[in-house]
Chains A and B, each alone.
Chain A
Amino acid sequence: MIINGIQIDDTFAEAFNMRSTRVIITALNLKWAYHAANAMTGFATSVIGCGVEAGIERELSADETPDGRPGVSILMFAMGSKVLMQQLETRMGQCILTCPTAAAFAGIQSGDQISLGKHLRYFGDGYQTSKLINGIRYWRIPVMDGEFLVQETTGMVRAIGGGNFLILATSQASALHAAETAIEAMKQVPNVIMPFPGGVVRSGSKVGSKYPSMFASTNDAFCPTLKGLVNTALSDDIESVMEIVIDGLSFEDIAMSMKVGIEAICKLGAKSGVKRISAGNYGGKLGPHHFKLHEILGAAINESPA
């Protein structure tokens, strides 16, 4: 498949089952909501080393939040419920409890209820009080700036992590520009996050390594500087590859986000330096969810003059 001069590989992204929750962070103003949310979603790029993958889903205006203050919604993904619960509590305690004026509410009401402020309340040392409002329990924890307001629980749901695509370009600058363009478009899609720095990852990995202690190592087939050394997946003109990884609440959400991102890149055309779009997988044996690029872009074929 070729769209606007850019080749779309006939391959698929391989993704995994995860557990997820959404938390709504509000604060006195957006600036402090972002301070809280950035801390909470910091060091959360990959479950391999961070425990969870987390990111800001979108900004919320004052009339969209429970307490009528501006805020942001955060999505957090983990491989299992236990890690998710543990990471959520740690991050709530270190990043939201500590952040001036911040408050936290459940962003998903359904699913299994996991602790948001249920255990955090003991920070109040006996002075914490609860309020049951419209059947939902909130905790009011006295802190030095006033009162920290937090909902008791949030909903945990089944989700999918590891949707991805690769951008292959003739230079590092054009690969990065294409990735940035895709991320800007993908940020408009609800129920997904792109957990890596700026949404983009340059160190795609393969399973295994020549060193016995390493589970994963650099994806040599896509490393442009190794073109002459390994069984490369790159043609002569490719000098840089960037990957965008997507976690989402459902298959459809991730597929939509991949479609929007790839289409945004294709709009730039081949003259932007982008030559190919591919995707990362492990042969289809590890992850139960396969995002086939051609199927996802199916609608785009008809629209495209190519």
Chain B
Amino acid sequence: MKPLTFTLKKNPSFKVDCRKLTPDKLKDLNAKQILEITLNNRIKVIDLFDINGENFERIVFKNSTSQLDYIGHQMSRGSITIEGDCGDFLGANMRGGGIVCHGNAGDRVGDQMRRGMILIDGNAGVYCGSRMLAGTIGVYGSIGNYAGFGMKRGTILLTQAQTLHATIQDCGTHTLPFLALLFQSLKPLSTKFNLLSSYRVQRYAGDLACNGNGEILVLL
């Protein structure tokens, strides 16, 4: 079965709220009903997207741009693949499943996420992983300020050293065995993370203002 694919017809001039387009929320609908879903600004799916594919557990956004916010909001299962950039709040309040973004993501990636995995091949904006409760976010490119702001648990995996705020504390360099399992599980997703082979990281713990059981791992 082909994944359910939303192909953006043209870049909208306004921000589009895509929180209704997750495997959880589409599971009982048919293609016709999906086209009639109202997004924000009284815009319907049919006005913005061409859709095809019948596997609603796997969703693909094609021609995606930074105007598409809240992709994967509150999703608990299945997968979402973004071929292009996406807007703010990618995977916010996520409860499970996986999101892969092959372009850049906006601000507050994984805000308040509880479970699941978000992988971004490009860059991410400010407040990445803010108020995260658990789960994993990987950003292959660069990242804005205040990563992990208010995070309680969870892992943010980076490939580039970043300036972090004061309540994220440096715990030194380590070779972490669990990364072997993690990297292995990423193999089928064909992201840039497949280029990684070292399990050596600089480990930052935080946010200490919120117990500090989260971590930001910067691969060395």
Contacts and interface: CB of A to CB of B under 8 A. Distances in A.
Given A67-B177, A133-B178, 17 more contacts: A66-B181, A66-B184, A68-B180, A127-B213, A129-B213, A130-B134, A131-B155, A132-B115, A133-B181, A138-B181, A140-B176, A140-B178, A146-B174, A147-B176, A147-B178, A149-B178, A149-B181
A132 B155 CA distance: 11
Interface in A15-42: none
B182 interface: yes
Contact of B153 (A66, A129, A134, A149): A129
Nearest to A67: B180
A169 interface: no
Interface in A80-135: 103, 126-127, 129-134
B180 A138 contact: no
A127 B177 CA distance: 17
B93 interface: no
Contacts of A103: 177
B52 interface: no
B88 interface: no
5 contacts: A66-B184, A67-B177, A138-B181, A146-B175, A147-B176
B203 to A, nearest CB: 10
Nearest to A134: B185
A67 B179 CA distance: 9
Interface string B136-177: 100000000000000001010000000000000000001111
A160 B182 CA distance: 36
A147 B174 CA distance: 9
Contacts of A68: 180, 184
B152 to A, nearest CB: 11
Contacts of B85: none
B215 interface: yes
Nearest to B214: A129
Contacts of B134: 130
Interface residues of A, number: 18
Nearest to A27: B177
B176 A146 contact: yes
A133 B185 CA distance: 7
A140 B175 CA distance: 13
A131 B177 CA distance: 12
Contacts of A138: 178, 181
Contacts of B184: 66, 68
Interface in A40-63: none
Contacts of B215: 129
Contacts of B155: 131
Contacts of B136: 131
A132 B113 CA distance: 14
A272 to B, nearest CB: 47
A133 B187 CA distance: 12
A131 B174 contact: no
Contact of B182 (A126, A133, A147): A133
A283 to B, nearest CB: 51
A69 B178 CA distance: 12
Nearest to A105: B181
B187 to A, nearest CB: 11
Nearest to B171: A142
A26 to B, nearest CB: 8
Contacts of B153: 129
A5 to B, nearest CB: 53
Interface string B70-106: 0000000000000000000000000000000000000
Given A127-B213, A129-B153, A129-B213, A147 B177 contact: yes
B99 to A, nearest CB: 15
A133 B134 CA distance: 13
Nearest to A130: B134
Nearest to B116: A132
Contacts of B213: 126-127, 129
Contacts of A129: 153, 213, 215
